[in-house]
């Protein structure tokens, strides 16, 4: 029996066997026999390759078992749907410059927050989503990048804050930002906290 497809480490079995996704079982068997003879490590061929042979065998077993092939085809379609989306996004010439502007604005937010309140310099997920007007899933890449560069850091309370290197970088960016949005967010948050405190006390 073969193994169900693992989409976390996707292998294109059709490409491996050089057959169409619509190939019937007879075609797959014929092609596999050809490659098995060519790459079998004990077949006496100068091209014997045990690793390649084992991958071909795995592909053959998955594509000739109806249940495994059905499950694999679902993963295959999902893989290529995602690949096509990546290709379409990459073809947009402004995607990299747009991402760079997002990171500039993020760093400016962290810069302003630390500058105006050194005791609480951090910002949390919900606050970042609201100020940037971008879902956190989309922000995750940019936050990862800023952390890897050492421009922001995670505080003990779980929030993120700018570092000294980040301050230097933000000042080089000189990205325009309306600090009033940040101030309004903090004031609104403080007002809600005060109201909740009064409600619990009454």
190 pLDDT band, cuts 50/70/90, is: low
Pick the CATH number of 95-201 from 3.30.70.20, 1.10.10.10, 3.40.50.720, 1.10.357.10: 1.10.10.10
Q: Quick: pLDDT tens for 83-126.
A: 776 555 545 556 556 788 888 889 998 998 999 889 989 988 88
Q: Are 12 and 73 in contact (CB under 8 A)?
A: no
**Per-residue confidence (pLDDT) for residue 91, from 0 to 100:** 53
**Per-residue confidence (pLDDT) for residue 144, from 0 to 100:** 94
Looking at every residue in the chain, the average pLDDT score rounds to 80
Chain centroid to CA 122: 24
Q: Quick check: 200 pLDDT over 90? A: no
* Low-confidence winner among 40-44, 59-63, 132-136, 194-198 (lowest mean pLDDT): 194-198
Q: Quick: pLDDT tens for 51-61.
A: 889 999 999 99
Looking at the chain, the domain(s) classified CATH 1.10.287.110 span 7-90
**Per-residue confidence (pLDDT) for residue 184, from 0 to 100:** 53
1 pLDDT band, cuts 50/70/90, is: very low
CATH of domain 7-90: 1.10.287.110
**Per-residue confidence (pLDDT) for residue 186, from 0 to 100:** 54
Whole-model pTM over 0.85: no
Burial code (b: 16+ CB inside 10 Å, e: under 16) for 123-135 equals: beeebbeebbeee
């Amino acid at each position: 029996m073969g193994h169900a497809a693992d989409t976390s480490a996707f292998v294109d079995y059709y490409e491996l066997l050089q057959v169409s996704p619509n190939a019937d079982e007879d075609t797959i068997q014929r092609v596999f026999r050809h490659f098995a003879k060519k790459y079998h490590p004990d077949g006496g061929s100068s091209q014997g390759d045990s690793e390649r042979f084992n991958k071909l065998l795995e592909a053959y077993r998955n594509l000739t078992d109806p249940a495994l092939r059905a499950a694999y085809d679902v993963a295959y379609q999902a893989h290529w749907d995602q690949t096509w989306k990546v290709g379409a996004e990459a073809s947009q010439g402004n995607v990299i410059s747009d991402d760079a502007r997002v990171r500039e604005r993020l760093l400016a937010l962290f810069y302003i927050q630390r500058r105006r309140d050194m005791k609480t310099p951090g910002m949390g997920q919900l606050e970042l989503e609201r100020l940037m007007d971008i879902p956190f899933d989309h922000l995750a890449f940019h936050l990862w990048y800023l952390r890897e560069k050492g421009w922001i850091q995670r505080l003990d309370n779980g929030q993120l804050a700018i570092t000294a290197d980040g301050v230097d970088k933000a000042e080089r960016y000189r990205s325009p930002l309306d600090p009033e949005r940040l101030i309004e967010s903090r004031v609104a948050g403080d007002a809600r906290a005060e109201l909740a405190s009064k409600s619990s006390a009454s």
